Amino acid sequence: MLQVAQIRTDKDKAVKGLVKRNVANPEKLIDELISLDDDRKELQTQLDAVLAESNQIAKSIGALMQQGKKQEAEQVKLKTSELKQQSKALQDELQQKEKLLLDSLYQIPNIPHADVKEGKGADDNELILEHGQKPVLHPGNTPHWDLIKKYDIIDFDLGVKISGAGFPVYKGKGARLQRAMLNFFLDEAEKQGFKEIQPPILINEASGIGTGQLPDKEGQMYHDESTDLYLIPTAEVPVTNIYRDVILDEQELPVKLAAYTPCFRKEAGSWGAHVRGLNRLHQFDKVEIVQIHHPDNSYKALEEMSTYVQGLLKKLELPYRVLRLCGGDMGFTSAMTYDMEVWSAAQERWLEVSSVSNFETYQSNRLKLRYKDADNKKHLLHTLNGSALAFPRILAAILENNQTEKGIHIPEVLRPYAGFEWID
């Protein structure tokens, strides 16, 4: 979440940032937030004064008793009792005001970086680069949802039988390709200095709040009310929360972590051809990379993460493009996001397969994730994360782009992991 002190220091920057995100009445929103903080400060001042007076009077009681002034001491005790009631009322009011302030902060998205363009949605995103040649397929080529039936490698009907729509069953070479991608992505992450983590896939409410999934995406997450636990939408959540309430030494930076997990999303409201087959699922697999950086180095790290993900796509021989998202298309917690999209030849459309984002201090402020500098002063860190990579759309593009009249040719880099060259 945003820091009130920063908003006060540069209110104009906050308002302009929210305008980029198409937030309604941003100036009014910021003014209301500052007003709540003013009220909180005033209540805190009143409470501090009452507590100070109470402490001073309490000390005088003993002196009066020693002087034999029992009656005066009793009168002072009555005053102390009144002050205690007053302080209790002020504490209750202060807690309510602090909760209102916190709830208001939770509703305000991150301020976009200065390089992020204004825009309302995906059509306004900025094309950074495009790499690779789009394949020309043989006559009679088909999209992946037909290919998986032809070669019997993924079964959506079985998934419906077992769970429901959006939960595919991978079979034979389809399952082995999943395992091949998993091992390839993790091995590549290790080569780049990411430490592998195997986190829980159920999180508590504090973890969801810490990285910003709650309360913003509550309706998109699977929730077990009996335990108040949530299935993770991405490994970013449990991995980043490893460092909740942690103070790092500056020498420990950067922290670089990678994790494979299944991911779960309700995808409420999704419909149409763009969600067919593997394009959008309720359960899917993904390798996530997470970094924790000194604020001075986080944007260099973001560019390196983008380059790293592009390197994976090159090794998979997939045509791709990189977009920098506009203010209206970015995630709630992000200050800057790059999307990587691969070309799906049979569908003749781009499919998003990775997002890499810098959250600056938005998550770390919620997480209370800080570092100590050489002078032992504490500062908030910057957090980053990215998909490296999400499996379903990568698999869809591999199947479609590499289909031939003979069968489907597997990218060379995956063959040692999969144990086969062709699906036929």
Report pLDDT digits (tens) over 112-139. Answer: 999 999 999 999 999 999 999 999 999 9
80 falls in which pLDDT band (50, 70, 90)? Answer: confident
Asked if the model's pLDDT at residue 66 lies above 80, the reply is: no
18-45 burial: b if 16+ Cβ within 10 Å, else e: bebbebeebeebbeebeebbebbeebee
* Residues of each annotated binding site: 234, 265-267, 288, 352-355, 385
Token digits of residue 404: 């031939």
Of residues 180 and 70, more confidently modeled: 180
Residue 357's pLDDT is 98
* Residues of each annotated binding site for L-serine: 234, 265, 288, 385
Residue 422 CA, distance from chain mean position: 37
What CA–CA distances, in Å, run from 234 to 204, 341, 421? 14, 18, 31
Residue 70's pLDDT is 65
Asked if the model's pLDDT at residue 78 lies above 80, the reply is: no
Asked if the model's pLDDT at residue 364 lies above 90, the reply is: yes
Calculate the average pLDDT of the chain: 94
Q: Where are the alpha helices (DSSP H) in 67-143?
A: 70-106
Asked if the model's pLDDT at residue 41 lies above 80, the reply is: yes
Asked if the model's pLDDT at residue 59 lies above 60, the reply is: yes
Strand partners, 203: 230
* Residues of each annotated binding site for ATP: 265-267, 352-355
417 falls in which pLDDT band (50, 70, 90)? Answer: very high
29 falls in which pLDDT band (50, 70, 90)? Answer: very high
Specify the amino acid at residue 100: L
Structural domains in the chain?
A: 4-106 (1.10.287.40), 122-423 (3.30.930.10)
197 falls in which pLDDT band (50, 70, 90)? Answer: very high
- pTM of the full predicted structure? 0.93
What CA–CA distances, in Å, run from 10 to 14, 56, 243? 7, 40, 29
Rounded mean pLDDT, 105-112: 96
Report pLDDT digits (tens) over 259-274. Answer: 999 999 998 655 555 6
